[in-house]
Amino acid sequence: MKSDWVSFETEEAWYQKLQKHLSTALVYIIDSYITIEDIPKWLQRGLIRSENVAKVIARDIKLHLNKLLIERHQKFFVGRNKEAAKKLIDKIASNGDEKPLFICADLADSSAIKLAIQKARDQLGTIHTLINNAANDQRHTTLEVTEKLWDELMNINLRHQFIIAQALIPQMIGNGGGAIINMSSNCFLLPRMASYPCYSIAKSAIVGLTRSLASEFGANNIRVNCVMPGWVMTKRQINKWLTAEAEKELMQDQALKKKLYPPDIARMTLFLAADDSQMISKQCFIVDGGRV
């Protein structure tokens, strides 16, 4: 079945039509990356159909977001793990994509966060979108939590989201608007919760943070939304906690009987970052395969 899109007189006309439907210049077909210039040929040969053109897939959320964001937009990310950042950047570059800017900073240090934001502005210019994604779901029990551990877990799971938003909002106001997407979790809504009370507390607080910022800065055309992922099959989750018993329990709980992966979260995040969601704010979107 051929797509109507291939009836356009030129590939340029087809390209313009496609750009209205996709927020990316790349697609993922049969485990291979192909460029947008290749798509008309694939469609004409009947190898793919327009309704099967899917967004690019990758192994973790940051890599997937880099693929999905429109190429003319410059990207940067902040973190403290230089080795992991280098691997990510090399992976992005190996796919033929522009390397994002990495700024090394401890997200538990508010001064370091502010310096990182200033460095990004100096090198890249205006910042339109913030995605708060850093977190640590290390297991712990209530009785073993010390004041030090409490502060550490709140800093990496909650505090930095407020500090970064606070640092960027004045610029977004000056720009006439922006988008903030905060990563929460469905963990505090589950009937059976993993042993990480501080993580659950922080993730529930992010819902309140999201709604508060959305109310306060909506008049400045700043949209603030929240994504609440389920159990996402990252390498860390698979290696540490995915057992046969845990997977069986997960499939019993979920309405959709398949595992959740980083691209599933990235697609929702991209939608909330793009103008496609220009009238959506103060909302929390659960992406968990119907577990909650």
What is the DSSP pairing of strand 32-35 with strand 26-29?
antiparallel
Phi-psi region of 31 (alpha: psi -120 to 50; beta: other; left: phi over 0): left
Supply angle C-alpha 89, 93, 96, rounded to 5.
155
Strands (E), 138-230: 178-183, 222-229
Smallest CA-to-CA distance from 76 within 110, 122, 143, 41 is with: 122
- Out of 28, 33, 199, 261, the active site residue is 199
Rounded Cα–Cα distance for residues 246 and 236 (Å):
15
Whether 265 and 57 have beta carbons less than 8 Å apart is answered as no
- Stretch (H or E) spanning 27: strand 26-29
Q: How far is CA 163 from CA 28, 90, 155, 168, 273, in A?
A: 36, 29, 10, 9, 19
Is residue 28 part of the annotated active site? The answer reads no
CB 64 within 8 A of CB 266: yes
Residues assigned a catalytic role = 199
